[in-house]
Amino acid sequence: MNLDLKYLGSSGLIESASGSSALSFQPNLARPKVFFDQRMKNPLRFREAMSALHDVVVGDLRFKRRDKSLYDAWKAEQTKQENELRASIVDHEKRKEIERIKGEAPPPNLEHDFRKMHSLYWNARRQWANELARSDPEMFRALVPCDPVVTVAPDTVFFECFAKDESSYGCLFVDRDAFEGSASSGLGTTNVDYSIALYEHFQTLRTYRETRLLVDPTGFEVKVESAGGYREEKIDLPPSWLKGFGQLSAAMALPSREVELSIDAVYSVLAHLKRHREKVGPRSIEFQLTPGKAPVMVLQPWGVKVESHGKAFVGEKPETIKVWGRRRLGVLARLLPIAERVTVQLLGSGLPSIWTAHLGDMRFVLGLSGWTTNDWTSGSNLELLSGAFVADLRASARILEHLKKQHVAGFDELSRLVEIARPSLIGSLHHLAQQGQVIFDFATKQYRFREVMPVALSESVLGPPSPELTFGIDAYRRGGVSLDRREVLPNLRQLLIAQVRTEGSRVGTRCEALFDSDGGYSKATCGCDYFRHFRLKKGPCRHLIALKLFENAEILSPDSAKKELLH
């Protein structure tokens, strides 16, 4: 998707004769007017938090192969003549083929071939970007911008970014209480110019110098085309980047387990990982959760136990949840000296985890996918976990209109607004988050209006949904779910056992699922190959999705269920 970026100058630190400084961010002039200007109470805290956000942006823990540049150069020289000859032949044959097929209809597999070629293009572009980042970082930043998204809300200002390998997400919330003095602001979301030079400016912030956070409004007031320092860029954002942003926002709205960790426990985990490098698997952090007791983290494969000394876990039953991606937790190291506590949202074993460092009037959110090489759009496949929550499109429109006016609202407030069942409301919020319109704030437990792009992210941009999700919804709509047994368990849990028949299958596939009080999968099993291979690590299979949709329809009224099927 093409994105227009227009900046008047570059972001940087502006120092005055009195010794004060203003941290100036240049906004994207191609988006609606957004600005902010106010003095900061604690610039040191902001420096550390923004530095951690920078570590997320440049983070790339993917496996790096040995440098074979000299061999590749020799190989290229040996085959140069052959390539030139081949290019001339291809050009000749291409002209002949174009002349031959110019009057024919497009081939039936054109869409499939296009997506295949599109994938090849982005793979080659990523390889080029990785090589450029290693050999010439400054040129990489000039040609491959990764400018963060900043949102000015009535009660906070927050910055969002995605890692280079698209496996980590960072968000820094700065409450209005972190500022003092008179304020000037224009609410909304925009991109801001962010460079390596700006990161170096962050390191010069000190507590003894007055510092202002300035999202510069002046660029909107002048004829920017004729102004000095004006630059315009058009970049083609990969669908995986856009989809990852939406998936992360949607993950925040899914049912999860909240765990609070003491600072010393997080420090112990980071210190052990810093001093030791595992040679064999598993490479996970195992959370041992017991109601009424402090969480215990077990670092594998060493079996080292780290016990938290903070708040006890509040849950219905003992659980063990394993998460991966722990090396990327290193970005929290700079925040531990100024953090009050750390909370973790656990979606399930092998699934993403959301880590929040509470910094007083600031909070840093770090989202980690289950695996470094499996980003938010593939390995995590969060849309499969939420696919059972069917969106009510009319309710989604009303929610979006309400959030545009109020900017922030809680779940109960939105429930009273649209008056639909809880599963439908969760589905509607997830739908808006996938489109890049809504983000969930764990600290305030509220939904915020935030447009990651000037337009909603549609299927034409993000690509088609997962086949498992498509087949699961189709099986439910065709009445392919035959319930064998339903059992209501303590703590509002439900056990469902059914036969699910998908299109093209003569017999049903037996599956069963234990749903917790939030409607999430507590345990599940199915006889299909997809589940035997992946379990729930890549989301539920089509049969479990159909079973969840059947369970949701039982909660809804007949009219509501019929309406949701039409959507």
Please say if the pLDDT value at position 491 is more than 80: no
Give the pLDDT mean for 346-352: 78
Q: pLDDT tens for residues 500-515?
A: 998 878 889 999 998 8
Interstrand relation of 211-215 and 21-25 (parallel, antiparallel or unpaired): parallel
DSSP 354-401: EEEEE-SSEEEEEEE-SSSSS-TTTTS-HHHHHTTS---HHHHHHHHH
How many other C-beta atoms are found inside a 10 Å radius of the C-beta of residue 310?
A: 16
Which has the higher per-residue pLDDT, 127 or 294? 294
Calpha distance 481→436 (Å, rounded)? 33
Give the pLDDT mean for 446-457: 76
Give the pLDDT mean for 380-407: 75
Which has the higher per-residue pLDDT, 101 or 565? 101
Calpha distance 119→98 (Å, rounded)? 24
174 bridge partner residues: 157, 362
The per-residue pLDDT of the chain, averaged, comes to 77
What structural domains does the chain harbor? 247-381 (3.10.150.10), 393-462 (1.10.10.10), 467-566 (no CATH)
**Alpha helices, H only, 5-109:** 43-58, 69-78, 80-101
How many other C-beta atoms are found inside a 10 Å radius of the C-beta of residue 93?
A: 10
Interstrand relation of 149-152 and 35-40 (parallel, antiparallel or unpaired): unpaired
Interstrand relation of 341-346 and 362-368 (parallel, antiparallel or unpaired): unpaired
Calpha distance 41→180 (Å, rounded)? 6
Taking Cα atoms as reference points, which of 450, 462, 533 lies closest to residue 190? 450
3-state helix/strand/coil string of 205-260: CCCCCCEEEEECCHHHCCCHHHCCCEEEEEEECCHHHHHHHHHHHHHHCCCCEEEE
Residue whose token pair is 């922030």: 408
Taking Cα atoms as reference points, which of 36, 19, 14 lies closest to residue 214? 36
Residues in contact with 101: Cβ distance below 8 Å, sequence separation at least 6, in sequence order: none
Please say if the pLDDT value at position 377 is more than 60: no
In the sheet with 285-289, reading across from the earlier edge strand, the strands are 304-307, 296-299, 285-289, 319-323
Give the pLDDT mean for 37-53: 86
Please say if the pLDDT value at position 385 is more than 60: no
Please say if the pLDDT value at position 273 is more than 80: yes
